[in-house]
């Protein structure tokens, strides 16, 4: 009888964890990887150091937090709604030997607590950037936000922009 109860408890735990791994909704954007040269330019523009915590919203395969950990010694958190991509990113962090400094979670980026971040990276559609603006503007002063390809619109001009082989990146610093 005890074995049966333990098995039932284990089954409930697995079902609960599986439900947590499924996205609550479909992704708002199709996953398109940021080219590695753009990743490196984004991190350089944000002046990432080993003291930083880099949050990547829509982290895909994890290349931005992984590169931040490898190149700068930063800690990184990837927020991704697709469980398959979270698994891939975690595997990539292990292969890159940075799994002790980088982790990935299946979450809706609109529901994620960004307060630990000192750098936030994005490659989202303009409407999503604009929906995130109030949340981003509440981050602590000094937090840097870097977006690949899309800015925040005319109401929040970037502090800096750079063309990387016809791919734009934008930087904002919270004041």
pLDDT band at 126 (very low <50, low <70, confident <90, very high): very high
Pair of tokens at residue 165: 């082989």
**At 132, is the pLDDT very low, low, confident or very high (cuts 50, 70, 90)?**
very high
- Name the pLDDT band for 31 (thresholds 50, 70, 90): confident
11-22 per-position pLDDT tens digit = 333 333 333 444
Number of domains the chain contains: 1
Q: Is the pLDDT of residue 27 over 90?
A: no
CATH of the domain at 52: 3.40.50.150
Tell whether the model's pLDDT for residue 71 goes beyond 70.
yes
pTM of the complete model = 0.84
Domain extent, residue 154, equals 2-173
Q: Which residues of 42-79 are buried (b: 16+ CB within 10 A; e: fewer)?
A: bbebbebeeebbbbbbbbbbbbbbbbbbbebebbbbbb
């Amino acid at each position: 009888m005890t074995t049966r109860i333990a098995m039932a408890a284990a089954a409930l735990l697995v079902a609960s964890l599986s439900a947590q791994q499924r996205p609550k909704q479909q992704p708002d954007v199709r996953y398109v990887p940021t080219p590695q040269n753009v990743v490196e330019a984004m991190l350089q523009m944000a002046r990432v150091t080993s003291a930083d915590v880099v949050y990547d919203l829509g982290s895909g395969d994890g290349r931005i937090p992984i590169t931040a950990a490898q190149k700068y010694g930063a800690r990184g958190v990837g927020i991704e709604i697709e469980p398959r991509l979270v698994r891939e990113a975690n595997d990539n962090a292990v292969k890159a030997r940075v799994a002790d400094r980088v982790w990935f979670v299946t979450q809706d980026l609109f529901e994620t607590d960004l307060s630990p971040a000192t750098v936030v990276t994005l490659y989202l559609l303009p409407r999503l950037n604009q929906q995130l603006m109030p949340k981003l503007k509440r981050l602590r002063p000094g937090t840097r936000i870097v977006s690949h390809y899309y800015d925040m619109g005319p109401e929040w001009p970037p502090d800096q922009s750079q063309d990387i082989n016809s791919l734009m990146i934008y930087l904002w610093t919270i004041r």
